[in-house]
């Protein structure tokens, strides 16, 4: 995601652009262009010098605004590219995390299945071990009896 600093920077750039547009409207920077258009459409006859002066005023106003617009466009392009790169990095990271979560879910499922199987076989294993124990005890008694019988036969 975006840090607070990045969001504050983007907000600042947008506020600057809004303030610039408001200033242009409030200070009627587009007025020479409008005046020239109004004069041309009103049918007034202007001298060559008046036309030239109106043209240069309009050109200067246009030039001032176009420089601001280009600078703002450049800033926004850089900012957008940065955000696009950041989004790309986040997308890759999210995919890796998703894959890791999927792997962990498979592991968890396998462990739960193994635990369930183990829990089910514990009573069987205990019963089998008890059978083996009883067998071993019976065999040990038999050996003890045989050994005790051999001692009595050899001692007689």
Kindly report, residue by residue over 68-97, the tens digit of the pLDDT. Answer: 778 888 888 888 898 999 999 999 999 999
Any domain includes 8: yes
The tokens describing 154, both together, are: 């050899």
Any domain includes 140: no
Q: Which pLDDT score is estimated for 53?
A: 75
The tokens describing 24, both together, are: 């242009």
What pTM did the predictor assign? 0.40
Any domain includes 135: no
Q: Give Cα 127 to chain centroid, integer Å.
A: 54
At residue 33, does pLDDT exceed 50? no
Q: Which long-range contacts (CB under 8 A, 24 or more apart) does 12-15 make?
A: 13/72, 13/75, 13/76, 13/79
Tokens 């040990």 label which residue?
140
Any domain includes 82: yes
Any domain includes 110: yes
What distance separates the 2 farthest-apart alpha carbons in the chain?
156
Supply the range of the domain harboring residue 70: 4-120
Alpha-carbon distances, residue 51 vs 31, 96, 122 (angstroms): 15, 66, 103
What is the pLDDT confidence band of residue 36, given thresholds at 50, 70 and 90?
Answer: very low
User: Higher confidence at residue 28 or residue 5?
Assistant: 5
Range ranked top by mean pLDDT from 15-29, 75-89, 93-107: 93-107
Instruction: Establish how many alpha carbons lie within 13 A of residue 78's alpha carbon, considering only the half-sphere containing its beta carbon.
Output: 8
State how many domains the chain has.
1
Mean pLDDT value across residues 95-107? 96
């Amino acid at each position: 995601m975006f840090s607070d600093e990045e969001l504050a920077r983007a907000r600042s750039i947008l506020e600057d652009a809004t303030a610039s547009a408001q200033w242009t409207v409030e200070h009627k920077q587009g007025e020479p262009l409008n005046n020239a258009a109004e004069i041309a459409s009103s049918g007034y006859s202007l001298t060559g010098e008046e036309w030239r002066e109106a043209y240069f005023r309009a050109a200067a106003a246009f030039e001032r605004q176009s420089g601001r617009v280009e600078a703002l466009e450049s800033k926004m392009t850089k900012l957008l590219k940065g955000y696009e790169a950041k989004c790309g990095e986040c997308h890759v990271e999210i995919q890796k995390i998703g894959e890791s979560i999927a792997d962990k879910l498979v592991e968890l499922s396998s462990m739960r299945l193994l635990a369930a199987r183990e829990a089910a076989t514990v009573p069987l294993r205990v019963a089998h071990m008890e059978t083996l124990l009883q067998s071993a005890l019976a065999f040990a008694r038999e050996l003890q009896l045989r050994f005790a019988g051999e001692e009595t036969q050899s001692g007689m």
